[in-house]
């Protein structure tokens, strides 16, 4: 850590998960660390795999590549830290990875080009624990169930759709002590909208 010198270099190149098409380039779109195991979770954009790197082992081996969806981008955790929720924005879907079992749970459609950043999770008064994503290609906040233990009927499906003023949202954030979820629209198709921030009420299920 003192020198930032690379200790090992691994190739992430490969073929697409669905058509086995060889790829000249595969980018790492996001990296996140597990809360429960000494692993990093990586979204491999073009190939549609989620890779697991075990940093407790010598050489930091890539121990698993989970076929998921194309083209993977940003993602974050559910409230338990077990499930990695990652956008496949060119397929208009979110993917759910069980990092504990290292398996794909499901994918589901949310809207045009979902882009949650690291995302946000909170306890909804009707649906229990939820996560959400905004979208680049649509003025839409999609809230989806994220509690397969206590609310299995709503898990991994959209439970609220809230129109926001304009396209081009990249990030949404909240805090456990805040009643609000904040979201931006820096790529809004209206220049005035690029400087706005929208605020969603957790209690009311609508924009404030």
Q: In this structure, are 119 and 203 located in the same domain?
A: yes
pLDDT tens digits, residue range 38-87? 999 999 999 999 999 999 999 999 999 999 999 999 999 999 999 999 99
What domain count does the chain have? Answer: 2
- Using the 3D structure, point to which of 109, 130, 149 is the last residue of a domain: 109
Q: Which of 70, 88, 109 is the last residue of a domain?
A: 109
Instruction: Determine the pLDDT at residue 208.
Output: 87
Average pLDDT over residues 160-170: 95
Do 182 and 135 share a structural domain? yes
Are residues 91 and 139 part of one domain?
Answer: no
Overall average pLDDT of the 157-174 stretch:
96
1 found inside a domain? no
Residues 14 and 71 in one domain: yes
Report if residue 90 sits inside a domain.
Answer: yes
User: Which are the contacts of 19, defined by CB distance < 8 A and separation ≥ 6?
Assistant: none
- Among the three residues 82, 109, 136, which one is the final residue of a domain in this structure? 109
Contact 88, 96 (CB under 8 A): no
**pLDDT, tens only, 100-134:** 999 999 999 999 999 999 999 999 999 999 999 99
Assigned domain for 3 exists:
no
Question: By percentage, how much of the chain surpasses pLDDT 90?
Answer: 96
Q: Which domain holds residue 54?
A: 8-109
- pLDDT-derived band at 1 (thresholds 50, 70, 90) equals confident
Q: Please report whether residue 2 resides in a domain.
A: no
**73 & 17 share domain:** yes
Q: Is residue 140 part of a domain?
A: yes
One domain for residues 57 and 24: yes
- State the pTM of this model: 0.94
Residues 47 and 97 in one domain: yes
Are 105 and 121 found together in one domain?
Answer: no
Q: What is the mean pLDDT of residues 17-43?
A: 96
């Amino acid at each position: 850590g003192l020198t930032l010198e690379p200790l090992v270099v691994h190739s992430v190149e490969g073929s697409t998960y669905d058509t086995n098409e060889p790829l000249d380039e595969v980018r790492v779109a996001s990296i996140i660390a597990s809360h429960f195991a000494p692993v990093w979770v990586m979204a491999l954009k073009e190939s549609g795999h989620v890779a697991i790197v075990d940093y407790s082992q010598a050489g930091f081996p890539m121990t698993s590549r989970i076929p998921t969806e194309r083209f993977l981008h940003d993602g974050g955790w559910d409230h338990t830290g077990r499930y990695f929720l990652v956008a496949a924005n060119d397929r208009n879907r979110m993917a759910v990875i069980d990092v504990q079992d290292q398996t794909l749970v499901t994918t589901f459609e949310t809207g045009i080009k979902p882009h949650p950043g690291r995302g946000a999770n909170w306890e909804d008064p009707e649906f229990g624990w939820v996560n959400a994503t905004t979208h680049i290609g649509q003025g839409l906040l999609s809230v989806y169930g994220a509690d397969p233990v206590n609310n299995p009927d709503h898990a991994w499906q959209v439970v609220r759709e809230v129109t926001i003023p304009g396209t081009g949202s990249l990030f949404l954030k909240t805090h456990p002590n805040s009643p609000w979820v904040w979201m931006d629209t820096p790529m809004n198709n209206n220049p005035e909208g690029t400087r706005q921030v929208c605020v969603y009420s957790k209690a009311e299920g609508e924009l404030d």
